[in-house]
Structure 1
Amino acid sequence: MIKLLLVEDDLDLAGNIIDYLELEDMLCDHASNGVAALSLMAEGHYQAIVLDINLPKLDGLQVCARARAIGNDTPIIMLTARDQLSDKVAGFEQGADDYLVKPFAMEELVVRVKALAKRRSGQHTQLSVGPLQLDINQKTALYGSEPLKCSPTAMAILEQLMRAYPHPVNRQSLIASVWGEESPDSNSLKVHMHNLRKALDSVGNATVSFTANVGFQLDVSEEK
């Protein structure tokens, strides 16, 4: 399942896009302004971002530039009513990966999102945070030279925390990324988080902290 962020201030259009994307088995978060978009980007991991240029508070070009400036390399598709070459060039210069002019066919948006998400998924096979390394394909992790022994679900949780590092991941976003549409029972996240913390503690100086109304955050020290 592809998880993406839609940033669009036209709520009617946003609703139509979300409905269509969900029919295509995509999980879609929504922000209606640039400030909210940057906040969601910091909290959750997305495989693609669909970003309108004409936004309140911060426009799409500013959002794209700020995201790239802090190291966010999530593929971005810019949406706009502007079809001049100079407008497209401006988007690409700020770090956009693709450009779609309104009005557009929903089918075309889906094809472009899937293409960018697939390209992204093939780019990163390993994640590193200090001495902690995770092989996404093999679903294995090392702290220095010590293997991390935990369940596949705990490993999936660790992957999301490492992708977001040094930012926290809120509870809802974490559950959606790990379990998708399958809602776990009330204790599942708690149990798997306990096991992950135990596994991290056994191999090095790393843990997962939790802050109410903020979320879970990976804490890693170079010292064992």
Structure 2
Amino acid sequence: MRLLIIEDNQDLCSELADFLELQGDTIDTAADGVTGLHLAVVNEYDAVILDLTLPGMDGLELCRRLRHDAGNWVPVLMLTARDTLEDRLSGFEHGTDDYLVKPFSLQELKCRLDALARRTAGLHQPTSLSVGDLQLMPETREVRRAGTLIELTAIEFQILELLMRQSPKVVSRPHIEYSIWGDSPPDGEALRVHIHHLRQAIDKPFSTPLLHTIRGVGYQLKQSHAVSA
């Protein structure tokens, strides 16, 4: 499995990573909530191991943003020293899939991760995304409109997938920039240029525009003509 460990205790993080790599898993790590959220949004993982107490953004807020802002339903195993019913309920309300109370055995951690991956495989991530006659296949990274194959760069594909997952919501410029580049976005014109190229690819050859600019806010992927591009 490809796993993301978000844990600020470097000794524990190294111990988890070393153990899981010995089991054949591929591991990415983050020591704070902001970096962890960025990695979880821009990469595909089989599961995320998430500490509750993190610098920058705690585990509950990270999980909430991952679910509600990014529309990402990767299985999340929360690590915590808190074991009250209220704490567990709060975690589940924010989108956590399972809880593991510190201290724990590494074997139990692995068993819970395997169970989460089996239980959630294919349940939350659709095999395709559609808006009008535009279709995106995340697994094969194909984009088609009205049956016509559309070639996109990697960044254009990421932007389109984000807009399609959020459709018909308006997605702000800062949210798109953070999802693509994290805390180090390029100059202010970069996103505008990528949006222009994306619009040329998915809208220009067709009679009905789908990608709309909401001035002063961000962008929206929607079939309606209600918002001018």
TM-score using structure 1 length: 0.63
Cross-structure match for 2:147: 146
Q: What amino acid does structure 2 have at the position aligned with 1:60?
A: G
How far apart are the structure 1 equivalents of 2:145 and 2:161? Answer: 20
1:25 equivalenced with 2:24 (yes/no)? yes
Q: State the aligned residue count.
A: 172
Are the equivalent residues in 2 in contact too, given 1:141–1:147 (CA < 8 A)? no
Counterparts in 2 of 1:11 and 1:164: CA distance versus 1, 3 Å: farther
Are the equivalent residues in 1 in contact too, given 2:143–2:150 (CA < 8 A)? no
Displacement of 1:99 after TM fit? Answer: 0.3
SS of aligned partner of 1:165:
helix
Q: In the TM superposition, what whole-angstrom CA distance separates every residue of 1:84-109 from its partner, at most 9, and x where no partner exists?
A: 11111111111101000011111111
How far apart are the structure 2 equivalents of 1:169 and 1:26? Answer: 25
Instruction: Show the 5 A alignment for 1:65-144.
Output: 65-70=64-69, 71-123=71-123, 124-128=125-129, 130=131, 131-134=134-137, 136=139, 143-144=144-145
Counterparts in 2 of 1:42 and 1:6: CA distance versus 1, 3 Å: same
**Larger mean Cα displacement after TM superposition, 81-90 or 94-103:** 81-90
How far apart are the structure 2 equivalents of 1:118 and 1:169? Answer: 29
Q: In the TM superposition, what whole-angstrom CA distance separates every residue of 1:126-155 from its partner, at most 9, and x where no partner exists?
A: 12154123285xx695623426499xxxxx
Displacement of 1:42 after TM fit? Answer: 2.5
5+ residue gaps, structure 1: 151-156, 171-200, 207-219
Displacement of 1:22 after TM fit? Answer: 0.9
Counterparts in 2 of 1:97 and 1:162: CA distance versus 1, 3 Å: farther
5+ residue gaps, structure 2: 164-175, 182-200, 206-220, 224-229
How far apart are the structure 1 equivalents of 2:61 and 2:138? Answer: 33
Q: What amino acid does structure 2 have at the position aligned with 1:100?
A: L
Counterparts in 2 of 1:30 and 1:105: CA distance versus 1, 3 Å: same
C-alpha RMSD of matched pairs (Å): 3.4
How far apart are the structure 2 equivalents of 1:125 and 1:43? Answer: 17
Q: What amino acid does structure 1 have at the position aligned with 2:98?
A: D
Displacement of 1:165 after TM fit? Answer: 3.1
**Larger mean Cα displacement after TM superposition, 58-67 or 91-100:** 58-67
SS of aligned partner of 1:38:
helix
Are the equivalent residues in 1 in contact too, given 2:20–2:27 (CA < 8 A)? yes
Runs (4+) off by over 4 Å: 139-142, 147-150, 160-164, 166-170, 203-206
Q: In the TM superposition, what whole-angstrom CA distance separates every residue of 1:60-93 from its partner, at most 9, and x where no partner exists?
A: 1111112122122111111011111111111111
Counterparts in 2 of 1:4 and 1:205: CA distance versus 1, 3 Å: farther
Are the equivalent residues in 2 in contact too, given 1:43–1:164 (CA < 8 A)? no
Displacement of 1:161 after TM fit? Answer: 4.7
Q: What amino acid does structure 2 have at the position aligned with 1:73?
A: W
Q: What amino acid does structure 2 have at the position aligned with 1:59?
A: D
Identity of aligned residues (%): 36
1:57 equivalenced with 2:60 (yes/no)? no
Are the equivalent residues in 1 in contact too, given 2:41–2:66 (CA < 8 A)? no
Displacement of 1:111 after TM fit? Answer: 1.4
SS of aligned partner of 1:18:
helix
